[in-house]
Amino acid sequence: MAVRSSRVTGAVAAALCTVTLVVGCASGSDADEPTSHPTQDKSITAEVGERFTLSVPENASTREHWFVVAPQPDASVVRAADRSYESADDGKSVGGGGTLVLTFEATGRGTTRIVLLHCTFPTAGTAACGGGAGPSPTPSPSPTTEPERVTYRVDVR
């Protein structure tokens, strides 16, 4: 998992908000080089208006998915801004996997948490991953396995 962040000036952010009004306010820019954080870094510090991303490996073809789950981040501190998928091989091979990129925007001063749930084939039948609604087409090799939860602490200054 990787964390990236970028900053822009208020004037640029205001202009981007106007242009992207339909899909939400954007305060990041493709021209800004994001700052990477180590995978094990579960603490994020951001400035109000700053965007940052959480990047996790994902492969839907193997029933592997990540979700932002309860408790949801405090919207007065952080809001979800975008969710995109980057194919590992530009989509040239079936089942190749890639990276899920979750973008957040720091909306106000404070501290909150972002909780990600990692649902995989063995955990897909659990209630946490939306399972339990009827029999699974293929028995899970470990039906009591709970999905992985990763919690990030976000401090906005």
**How many separate domains does the chain show?**
1
Q: Highest mean pLDDT: which of 24-28, 56-60, 95-99, 113-117?
A: 113-117
CB-based contacts of 85, cutoff 8 Å, min separation 6: 58, 98, 99, 100, 101
- In DSSP terms, 14 is beta-bridged to none
Check: pTM over 0.85? Answer yes or no.
no
Q: What is the pLDDT of residues 75-110, one digit of tens each?
A: 999 999 999 988 887 666 667 789 999 999 999 999
When mean pLDDT is compared over 16-30, 72-86, 112-126, 130-144, the highest value belongs to 72-86
Q: What is the CATH number of the domain that holds 124?
A: 2.60.40.2020
Q: Taking the CB of residue 109, how many other CB atoms lie within 10 A of it?
A: 12
Q: Which domain holds residue 65?
A: 2-156
Cβ atoms of 95 and 59 closer than 8 Å? yes
